[in-house]
Amino acid sequence: MTGCPETVGPARGDLAGLDADALWSAVLAAAAGSRTGVPGVVAERCTAAGAVRLGWVSPPAWHVVREGVAAVRTALVPPTRARVVVLGTGGWCFAAQALTETTGGRAALTVLDSLDPTAIAQALADEPGTPRGVLAVSASGATRETRLLVAAVPPRDGGRLVWLRDEADPPEAFALSPGGGADQVAMLGAPLSTAFLAVAGIADGAALAAAYPRFVSRSHRIGVAAARRAGTVPVAGAVRIRFVPPRWAGPGLRRWLLQLGRQVLGGKPGRWRPTVELACGAEGTPAVGGTGRPEVVFDLGGLRRDLPALLDGLYAAGVFVACVGLRAGLDVAEHPNVRVYKEHLAHADPDEAGHRSVAVADLPDTAARWLTHRPEVTRLHVVGYWSAAERDLPSAARFTGATGRPCEVHEGSAWNHHSFQAGYPDPTVAVLIVTRGVEAGTDPTAAPPVRAAARALRRIAVATHRSLPERSLLVSSPAVDRAEVSGRARGGG
C-alpha cells in the first residue's frame, strides 16, 4: 500500500468535507511520504514530538516484522527457559496485556505497568534459575515511570535489558517502528508497532507467523471499512461514542480502547465535544462512561479470542478513531493535557496522600456527601492508586447508587494514561482519588528501587489532585477489606 495518488479535496485544514474513501486515500498517501495537498494536512495532524506518527496505517511486510522480532528476542534472552518482563506505561502495555489476555501468552512473559510494590513483586516471582529478559518501552526512552520500573525489575541469569524507543541503538535499543523511523505513538501503537509485534512473537512466534501475513492481505479492506464507519460520525456538538468490547475482554483490551478513544479524541479544543465510553463487559459490569443509548457504537463484541481476530480488531479500531479525529480537525497524535499532572510531579509531596482517611466501604457515602451541592458534576471517576484497586474498591454500581451519577472505577496510574486527557478540561467530571496511605503496601525491607516506585505512585496521585483542585477529592484508605466491602454492598454492616 505505497505509491498512493495525491487526493483532491477541500481547502487545507478541513478534512470533514472529504468522503471516507478520499480521506483514507489521503491517509495512505501521507503514510507513504506525501506532504503536499490533503495528505500534507493529514501528516500535520498526525505529528507529535517533531515526527509524523503514521506508523499505524500501512502494515510492513512480514519479512521485516520477522527479522525485527527475532533481533529483539535474541538481544533479550538466551534461547531456552527464559521469561520476558515487558515494562512501560499506557497504550504500549495495555496492548501487550490485551495480547496475553487473548492468546494466553503469560507462560512466556509478564507485562508490568504499575509502580505498586505488590505488582512489582509478582513480576519478580520467577522460578529460580530462569533467565529474565526485560523489554522496556518508551518512545523517548526517558519516561519516569518506565525508568523506575527498570530499576525495580532488573534482568538476571543471562537475560538482558532491551529498550524499544524512537531511536534505535542495537542491541541495547530497537526502534518502536518495524520500519526504523519515529512514526509510532502509544495510543495508536497496536497492532503495527514493534512493541506489540515483538510481544506477540515472544508469546507465540508460530501463531504470529501464521496470522500476520493473513492480516496484511486483509488490512486494506479493514481500513476502508473503518474509515467509512468514521465518516458517519458527527464531528460537531456533543456526541457519545461507545466501544463494545468482546465479553472475554480483560483489563488490557478495555483500557487500550479507552486510551485510544479518550486520548485521540478527548479533551482537545474545537467545536466538537465527544464522550468515549465502553459497553458493559463480562459478568454484567456496567457501561464505563454513561447510561442510555449513545449516538455512535463501534462494535467489537463478536471478536474471536485469537491472534488473527485481535490484529483485525485493533487495526480497525485505530483507523476508525484516527479518521474520526482527522475529520474533526484534531491533532490525533497529541495528548497535551497529561503534561499538566506531570508538571505537578516535581512538587508533589507523596505524604500528602494520607491527610484524610476513609474506610473503603465508606467511600460511596463520602463521594455522595462531597457531591451533594455540585449539580454541575454529572459523572464520577473513582481512581485507586494501587494495582488491585479495581477489585478492592466498591463497585461502580455502588458509587452510582450513592451519588446518583454514572461512575467509573479505575486503577491509577493507568487512569492517568487512558482518561486524564479527556477528563481534565471537562467540568462535568469529578475524580475521587484514593491511596493506600504512606506505608500501606510497602515492605520496609523492600529494595530501594521498589520503595522509590511506591513513593512515585503516591506522588502521581497527589499531582493528579493538584491538577484538578476544584474537581477532585484526595483520601486515603489504607485497610482494604473485601469482606467488609461485600457486606456493605449486600446491606450488611
- Give me the helices (H) in 77-193, please: 90-103, 117-124, 144-152
Per-residue pLDDT band for 104 (boundaries 50, 70, 90) equals confident
What is the three-class DSSP state of 480? coil
Report DSSP state, residue 5: P
Per-residue pLDDT band for 489 (boundaries 50, 70, 90) equals very low
Residues 136, 179: Cα–Cα separation, whole Å: 19
Mean pLDDT to the nearest integer, 470-490: 67
Per-residue pLDDT band for 461 (boundaries 50, 70, 90) equals very high
- pTM for the model: 0.93
Per-residue pLDDT band for 479 (boundaries 50, 70, 90) equals low
Residues 274, 422: Cα–Cα separation, whole Å: 9
Q: Higher pLDDT residue, 10 or 331?
A: 331
Sorted by sequence, the CB contacts under 8 Å of residue 227 that are 6+ apart come out as 20, 21, 23, 24, 27, 319, 320, 323
* pLDDT over threshold 60, residue 451: yes
Q: Which ranges in the chain are annotated with CATH 3.40.50? A: 67-203+234-304+327-332
Mean pLDDT to the nearest integer, 353-360: 79
Q: Which ranges in the chain are annotated with CATH 3.40.1830? A: 338-489
* pLDDT over threshold 70, residue 1: no
* pLDDT over threshold 90, residue 244: yes
Q: 284 and 254 in contact (C-beta within 8 Å)? A: no
Residues 19, 21: Cα–Cα separation, whole Å: 6
Of the ranges 107-111, 119-123, 476-480, 483-487, the best mean pLDDT one:
119-123
pLDDT given at position 106: 66
pLDDT given at position 288: 67
What topology does CATH give the domain 67-203+234-304+327-332? Rossmann fold (3.40.50)
Q: 475 and 432 in contact (C-beta within 8 Å)? A: yes
Residue in this structure with the C-alpha cell 467530571, named with its chain if needed: 429
Q: How far is CA 246 from the centre of its chain?
A: 17
- The candidate with the shortest Cα–Cα distance to 456, out of 171, 116, 44, is 116
Amino acid at 321: V
A 10 A CB-CB count for 68 gives 22
Mean pLDDT to the nearest integer, 157-178: 97
Residues 116, 145: Cα–Cα separation, whole Å: 11
Residues 197, 300: Cα–Cα separation, whole Å: 21
Q: 380 and 402 in contact (C-beta within 8 Å)? A: no
Q: Higher pLDDT residue, 68 or 479?
A: 68
Residues in the chain: 493
Residues 273, 422: Cα–Cα separation, whole Å: 10
pLDDT given at position 446: 86
Lowest mean pLDDT among 77-81, 381-385, 418-422, 451-455: 77-81
Q: 296 and 230 in contact (C-beta within 8 Å)? A: no
Sorted by sequence, the CB contacts under 8 Å of residue 404 that are 6+ apart come out as 368
* pLDDT over threshold 70, residue 23: yes
* pLDDT over threshold 90, residue 238: yes
- Cell numbers for 437, please give them: 496511605
Mean pLDDT to the nearest integer, 411-439: 93
* pLDDT over threshold 90, residue 299: yes
* pLDDT over threshold 50, residue 4: no
Angle at the Cα of 80 (from 79 to 83), degrees rounded to 5? 95
Per-residue pLDDT band for 398 (boundaries 50, 70, 90) equals very high
pLDDT given at position 364: 98
pLDDT given at position 349: 82
What is the three-class DSSP state of 237? strand
Mean pLDDT for all residues in the chain: 91
Residues 77, 135: Cα–Cα separation, whole Å: 10
- Cell numbers for 105, please give them: 501468552
Mean pLDDT to the nearest integer, 211-217: 99
Lowest mean pLDDT among 7-16, 20-29, 339-348, 479-488: 479-488
pLDDT (tens digit, 9 = 90+) per residue, 119-144? 999 999 988 888 999 999 999 999 99
pLDDT given at position 271: 84
- Give me the helices (H) in 110-162, please: 117-124, 144-152
Helix (H) / strand (E) containing 242: strand 237-244
What is the three-class DSSP state of 81? coil
Residues 406, 397: Cα–Cα separation, whole Å: 8
pLDDT given at position 105: 66
* pLDDT over threshold 60, residue 150: yes
Mean pLDDT to the nearest integer, 38-66: 98
* pLDDT over threshold 50, residue 10: no
Q: Higher pLDDT residue, 349 or 192?
A: 192
* CATH of the domain spanning 338-489, picked from 3.30.450, 2.60.120, 3.40.50, 3.40.1830: 3.40.1830
* pLDDT over threshold 50, residue 156: yes
CA torsion through residues 241, 245, 247, 249, sign: negative
